[in-house]
Structure 1
């Protein structure tokens, strides 16, 4: 068994798609299943499913963590006001920044290797 994808509910699938494409994802597939609009995006071997949220009931909100080469390259998140925590330097040498996606989901960006 292996992980196939992580699903995130969104209230605006187009805005969410553009957000994740800015992070490097590419749209793989789009469909409607049992009345729910779905959008699948891939980044290397990882698949993210965006699901249009149909109710106002708050769902569990796990965070997605993406490894980046250089956290400084993610300055757009700070400039666009989506960064809400960090950047932080961790004891193990990692640098991390938490940004907010279009539907309030938390996305962590982590740099695990030092850059020159």
Structure 2
């Protein structure tokens, strides 16, 4: 398992893309629409930031860990604490979100 990205909820996607590409010299890696949300991934060689557009953003964030076998994670952690998913994304990735003890979101993502 390795850190895949840090996700940040934003109110204005275009403004946020411009801000983080200028501030951190990140490049726009990809854009997606999923469950009515507009999402952008910005990346460098060592860091990836996911921006999720919510017009009424609460500035929430999540950590995402890349795993080789998502079903094994679900089997190990169980389904009682799943906050969202599992989902299969249009790019083939599979993901599930768990709720941590402080109501934080932890995403597990299988990219292959």
TM score, norm. by length of structure 2: 0.49
Larger radius of gyration: 1
Greater per-residue strand proportion: 2
TM score, norm. by length of structure 1: 0.47
